[in-house]
Every structure is written in C-alpha cells, then in structure tokens.
Amino acid sequence: MADVNRDNRPLSPHLQVYRLPLAAITSILNRAAGHGMVAGLLLLAFWLLGAAVGGGMWESADWLTRSWFGFLVLLGSCWALWYHFLAGIRHFFYDAGEGLEIETAHKTSIAIIAGSVVLTLLSLVIYLL
C-alpha cells in the first residue's frame, strides 16, 4: 500500500543544512591530496619514460614538464605531498588516541593547512634558487 504521509515527513539533513567541522574537511582533503599526487607521478613517469626512449618523446615530455601546465601540476603535487605527509603525522597521533578533542583537532587542522602552504612555498623558493 502507498505511503500517504510521504510529503509530511521531515527530510534528512544534508550538507546545505549542516556545516562540516574543519577536521572533517581536512580529512576529506587528505584523501583528495592522495589522489592528486597521482597527477604529478604520472607527469614524472612520462618525463622519465621520455628520457629513457629519447628523441621526439623526450622533447615532448620535457616540453610538457617545463610548460606552465606542467609547473602547475608539479606545484599542486608538491602541495599535496606536504599536505598528505602532515595529515599522516596527525593520524599517527589519532591512532594513539591523542588529539581527538574538538579544539585540538581544529588547531591541528589549521596547522596542517598552514604548514603545507608554507612548506610548498619553501620548496618553490629552493627550486627557483
């Protein structure tokens, strides 16, 4: 039999109703950073393959790696690597039962975001020297 009160029932809350805590956002971003590093690894693998094969493939791989697009992919991959590294350290503490309090999780989330940006900029400065 059909449910006649279907329209009168409350709807389940969604992301438009609730705001995710920063710790949840950084946890999701940690997974995305792990996937984002794949783009940099693919570019690096293409560059190494081009170096091994030589000729036109090397010229294409080197051009792509040195282009503005390649630079953005490598810079994004560098940020993803630092972010994933710092978030991994936090998860080591989580596994030990430390830092699970809401305030501590919020502070470490900010530290991970800021630290990954600072370390990426430091890596960029070292690269440009």
Average pLDDT score, the chain: 91
Torsion angle of the four alpha carbons 79, 97, 95, 102, in this order, in degrees rounded to the nearest 10: -40
* Residue 29 confidence (pLDDT): 94
Rounded CA gap, 127 and 129, in Å?
6
pLDDT one-digit tens code per residue, 20-49: 899 999 999 999 999 889 999 999 999 999
* Residue 100 confidence (pLDDT): 93
Could you confirm whether domain 21-128 is CATH 1.20.1300.10?
yes
* Residue 45 confidence (pLDDT): 96
| pTM (predicted TM-score) | 0.83
Q: How far are the Cα atoms of 17, 51, 58, 70 from residue 120, in angstroms, in the given order? A: 34, 26, 27, 16
* Residue 20 confidence (pLDDT): 87
Contacts of 89 (CB under 8 A, 6+ apart): none
Burial of residue 82, with CB atoms counted within 10 A of its CB: 0-12 exposed, 13-18 middle, 19 or more buried: buried
Which parts of the chain sit beneath pLDDT 70? 1-13, 15
* Residue 114 confidence (pLDDT): 98
Rounded CA gap, 16 and 68, in Å?
36
Place of tokens 């794949």: 38
